[in-house]
């Protein structure tokens, strides 16, 4: 469709400044994608610097995933997950559980990261209640955390813009750990910052305030992607695990961004050698082909629910599209590719290229921090007085002109390149970012 014939009015877009978008639609309407690239309606080629939205790590339209979805359509388009099942969903759950750290054995499917978080929090609360520990109702999130847009997710989340409109309707009994991002202590760190592990001890303060007997779970992103690639300090996650174990609190890793390769391992839990009690996932599980998410739990948690009459439902929760046949088919193909194409090793190799490339931007105009975490990175800018977020928007637009699609959030440009990228593509992405920074002023 010609751009001049496209009516932009009816679609209320998510997380988008719609009036600005309507006034500046140039290079913003995607037409097709293949590999590590998009093409816009006006024929402009864009390197996908954030793998879709952290989800297309294997690139776009991978032929094996496309073929798997097409074949699935020939046999079963939809199958109810309530009281019925289809074989590939069971085998997929087994594969995902086998990829997780030792002790994880069960997978509950949903359709997004937001739903995965809601599910994990409900499992946590129900687990304590079933075990006779019903006073454990308090949930602990973290400042700057992003756990989706459901009321549970924004309650434990710590992004002010997502929370402020709904303060009267968020979950009661939620508190927050401090975030771990302190520029004066960790700016321009390569990988995990040396400073900040002690911030995990803030959980002790919350225990002293509320008493451990009231706290059900702590939920954190191992690497905080949506807030602009906030990297955990060395030892921070291990200390958080120690404290949760000490106080009988469940630890949830929200791995919606980290899972399935970006950390050079199936999950960040393995990369950091820290075992949580629940893991949420979405995005990369099937390369963003069809909406899918889920929660992985330990055998201990699952068995706690398996009580009462055999014919009775043990967990009153689920979604119409849980384990959707098309999503499952795409996921099986994705997991095949992760193995066959040695994606974890490729991601590890590329993470070194990304680290060198982005840290080479130190000294560019208005850059106040650069940070990286395996195959993810961010560049933070000094804000323009009175116009927060506008500098990063300008850099984003200059990047589009030069053929790279970045992600901007606040005054931060985030990068999560496809794991199928070449070293040259990642180096060029950083070179384009340098040009865009200078052009944006």
CATH number, residue 310: 3.40.640.10
- Let me know whether 144 and 156 are in one domain: yes
- Let me know whether 286 and 222 are in one domain: yes
- Let me know whether 36 and 77 are in one domain: no
d(CA 215, CA 143): 17
d(CA 144, CA 173): 18
d(CA 357, CA 364): 13
C-beta neighbour count of 169 within 10 angstroms: 9
- Let me know whether 25 and 105 are in one domain: no
Q: Of 315, 340, 365, which residue constitutes the final position of a domain?
A: 340
- Let me know whether 200 and 86 are in one domain: yes
Tokens (6 digits) for 432: 């384009």
CATH (domain of 25): 3.90.1150.10
d(CA 416, CA 28): 19
Q: Are strands 377-381 and 367-372 parallel, antiparallel or unpaired?
A: antiparallel
- Number of structural domains in the chain: 2
Which residues are paired to 380 by β-bridges?
Answer: 369, 412
Cβ-count burial 104-114 (b if 16+ within 10 Å, e if not):
bbbbbbbbbbb
Tokens (6 digits) for 48: 């996908």
Q: Of 274, 306, 340, which residue constitutes the final position of a domain?
A: 340
Q: What are the helix and strand counts (H, E) for the chain?
A: 16, 15
- Let me know whether 143 and 223 are in one domain: yes
Of 196, 96, 112, the C-alpha closest to 153 is: 112
- Let me know whether 197 and 179 are in one domain: yes
d(CA 117, CA 96): 17
- Let me know whether 216 and 166 are in one domain: yes
- Let me know whether 288 and 426 are in one domain: no
Q: Of 322, 340, 358, which residue constitutes the final position of a domain?
A: 340
Cβ-count burial 68-92 (b if 16+ within 10 Å, e if not):
bbeebeeeeeeeebeeeebebbeeb
- Let me know whether 321 and 378 are in one domain: no
Domain, as residue range, for 419:
3-58+342-440
pLDDT of residue 2: 67
Q: The tokens 């978080």 sit on which residue?
A: 117
Tokens (6 digits) for 433: 């970012």
- Let me know whether 316 and 357 are in one domain: no
pLDDT of residue 335: 98
Tokens (6 digits) for 44: 């402009």
pLDDT of residue 441: 85
Block means of pLDDT (10 residues each) for the chain, length 441 residues? 82 95 91 97 96 98 98 98 97 98 97 98 98 97 97 97 94 97 96 98 98 98 96 98 98 98 98 98 98 98 96 96 98 98 98 98 98 98 96 97 97 98 98 98 85
- Let me know whether 159 and 142 are in one domain: yes
């Amino acid at each position: 469709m010609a751009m001049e014939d496209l009516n932009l009015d009816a679609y209320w877009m998510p997380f988008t400044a719609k009036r600005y978008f309507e006034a500046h639609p140039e290079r913003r309407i995607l037409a097709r994608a293949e590999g590590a690239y998009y093409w816009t309606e006006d024929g402009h080629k864009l390197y996908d610097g954030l793998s879709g939205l952290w989800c297309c790590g294997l690139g776009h339209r991978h032929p094996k995933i496309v073929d798997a979805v097409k074949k699935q359509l020939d046999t079963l388009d939809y199958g109810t997950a309530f009281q019925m099942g289809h074989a590939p969903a069971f085998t997929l759950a087994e594969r995902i559980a086998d990829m997780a750290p030792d002790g994880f054995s069960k997978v509950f499917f949903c359709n997004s990261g937001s739903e995965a978080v809601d599910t994990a929090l409900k499992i946590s609360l129900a687990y304590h209640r079933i075990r006779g520990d019903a006073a454990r109702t308090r949930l602990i999130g973290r400042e700057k955390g992003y756990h989706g847009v459901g009321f549970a997710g924004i309650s434990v989340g710590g992004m002010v813009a997502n929370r402020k409109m709904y303060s009267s309707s968020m979950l009661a009994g939620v508190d927050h750990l401090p975030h771990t991002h302190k520029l004066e202590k960790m700016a321009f760190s390569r990988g995990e910052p040396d400073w900040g592990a002690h911030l995990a001890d803030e959980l002790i303060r919350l225990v002293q305030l509320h008493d451990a007997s009231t706290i059900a779970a702590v939920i954190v992103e191992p690497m905080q992607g949506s807030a602009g690639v906030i990297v955990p300090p060395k030892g921070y996650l291990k200390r958080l695990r120690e404290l949760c174990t000490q106080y009988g609190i469940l630890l949830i890793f929200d791995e919606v961004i980290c899972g399935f390769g970006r950390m050079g391992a199936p999950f960040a839990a393995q990369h950091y050698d820290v075992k949580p009690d629940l893991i949420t996932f979405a995005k990369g599980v099937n390369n963003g082909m069809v909406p899918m998410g889920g929660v992985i739990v330990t055998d201990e948690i699952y068995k706690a629910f398996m009580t009462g009459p055999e014919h009775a439902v043990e967990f009153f929760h689920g979604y119409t599209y849980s384990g959707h046949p098309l999503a499952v088919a795409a996921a099986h193909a994705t997991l095949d590719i992760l193995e066959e194409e040695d994606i974890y090793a490729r991601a590890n190799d590329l993470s070194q290229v990304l680290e060198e490339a982005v840290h080479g931007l130190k000294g560019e105009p208005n850059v106040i921090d650069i940070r990286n975490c395996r195959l993810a990175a961010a560049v933070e800018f000094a804000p323009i007085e009175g116009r927060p977020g506008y500098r990063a928007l300008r850099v984003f637009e200059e990047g589009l002109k030069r053929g790279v699609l970045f992600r901007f959030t606040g005054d931060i440009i985030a990068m999560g390149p496809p794991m199928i990228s070449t070293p040259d593509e990642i180096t060029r992405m950083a070179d384009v970012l340098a040009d865009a920074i200078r052009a944006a002023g």
